Amino acid sequence: MIHALVVANDGESAELISKLARLSEQVVIERLFCPEPRHPELSHVLNTLPLDVVLLDLSHPGEASLLLDQIREKNPALPVAGFCFSGDEPAPLTPFLLPMPLSPRGFIDTIRGAIHASRKAPYPNVFAILPAKAGAGASTIAVNAAAQVAASCGKKVAVADADLRSGIMAESLGLRAQEPIEETLPLADAAHSLIWPRHVAQKSGVDFLLTSRGKAQIQWHDYHHLIKFLSRRYDSVVIDLPEALDDANLESVRAASCVYIATTPEFLSLTLARQRIVEMETANVDRSRIRILVNRWHARDLKPADVATLLGCPVEAVFPNDYPAVHAAIEARSLVDARTRLGAAYRSFAVQLAGGEPARVDAAKGSLLGALRWSMGSSAA
């Protein structure tokens, strides 16, 4: 749920906001002031309540400006959305105003915009990974790279299996959490009060949040709260996503410092990688945050530098095709042997996730002609 403080100038405005919160089924009003609070009252609430947003009446510009100054002084990052039901032009104190006519959708969209704007930058230790197409190996990369971050870099790592309908991370690793991620997400607004070991399963030094693939009504703010909590508790957080993102788990890519798209070198996978890039940009993920992971690569395949040219995004890591190593790990419900070439590639990528210098493939070193020939040849085939 979204936890709100409401400051209204009159009873009618207070009732309208309360009704919108009830109809939205996503907002809990933690405290409602009507009329405006005194300075000590507001300070106490700002210091003690876990708030996600302030809904501020702007119909009295002078008083609203003073209240906003106090809010900014106490908590500069706290989002503020305004409303004005007097019929007058609202004071331009915040760009986030409840639209007229009032509706639960407009109410939530305004709050969401204010919350997103308050996050000045993505979380530097949060990484999202998704496949260009199902079966591209994104989950295998996420699991093995995270384990290498823990083992080789000595970091505290969490991996969240956010493919709630089809994720099989639990089965592939032989793990089971007492509480699946479907149960954790709706409680994430109070994650600090949870008995956390019940919500994760550990293996190779990594805390895994696992899906049971059960039915769940997950909202965007559930991911917002969970990622905020994880980013503070762990050194590195990896969110493993499905190829098709819904409104809720789009929150993960918006919050991540890097979004990795895993693709194989085949034409169809690269075609869908292009589509994933477009989808990320549509979700307001800047292209500078998008990276490509080339999986199951053979020396005879398109060069990684040409993949970078073709997709217009840097190739961050290349993982050689090593079916025996992956098959052995699946059979053992374990990780890929770190002594293999594939294991070494995971370890190299792990350094980047742990905050090391990326070893990107420079697109300029590739051959644009080679990329075009490959693309045209694949199309003709």
- The whole-number average pLDDT for the span 17-31 is 97
- The whole-number average pLDDT for the span 35-64 is 95
Examine the pLDDT at 302 and tell me if it is beyond 70: yes
Q: Judge contact between 176 and 136, C-beta under 8 A.
A: no
Q: What is the pLDDT of residue 356?
A: 59
pLDDT band at 357 (very low <50, low <70, confident <90, very high): low
- The whole-number average pLDDT for the span 196-208 is 96
pLDDT band at 214 (very low <50, low <70, confident <90, very high): confident
Q: Where are the alpha helices (DSSP H) in the chain?
A: 11-24, 39-48, 61-74, 104-118, 138-153, 169-173, 181-184, 220-233, 250-255, 267-282, 304-311, 323-332, 341-353, 368-380
- For domain 2-118, give the fold: Rossmann fold (3.40.50)
Examine the pLDDT at 308 and tell me if it is beyond 50: yes
- The encoded tokens of residue 54 equal 């302030």
Higher local confidence (pLDDT), 356 or 21: 21
Q: Judge contact between 381 and 155, C-beta under 8 A.
A: no
Options 3.40.50.300, 3.40.50.150, 1.20.120.450, 3.40.50.2300; CATH for 123-380 is: 3.40.50.300
Task: Determine which of 90-94, 156-160, 319-323 has the lowest per-residue pLDDT on average.
Answer: 90-94
Spatial CA neighbour of 58 closest among 33, 31, 82:
82
Distance CA 120, CA 117 (A): 6
**Portion of the chain with pLDDT greater than 70, in percent:** 93
State the DSSP code for 283. Answer: T
pLDDT band at 241 (very low <50, low <70, confident <90, very high): very high
Task: Determine which of 26-30, 45-49, 164-168, 212-216 has the lowest per-residue pLDDT on average.
Answer: 212-216
Please check whether the two domains, 2-118 and 123-380, share a CATH topology.
Answer: yes
Q: What is the pLDDT of residue 359?
A: 52
Which three-class secondary structure state does DSSP give residue 314?
A: coil
Examine the pLDDT at 73 and tell me if it is beyond 90: yes
The domain spans of the chain are 2-118, 123-380
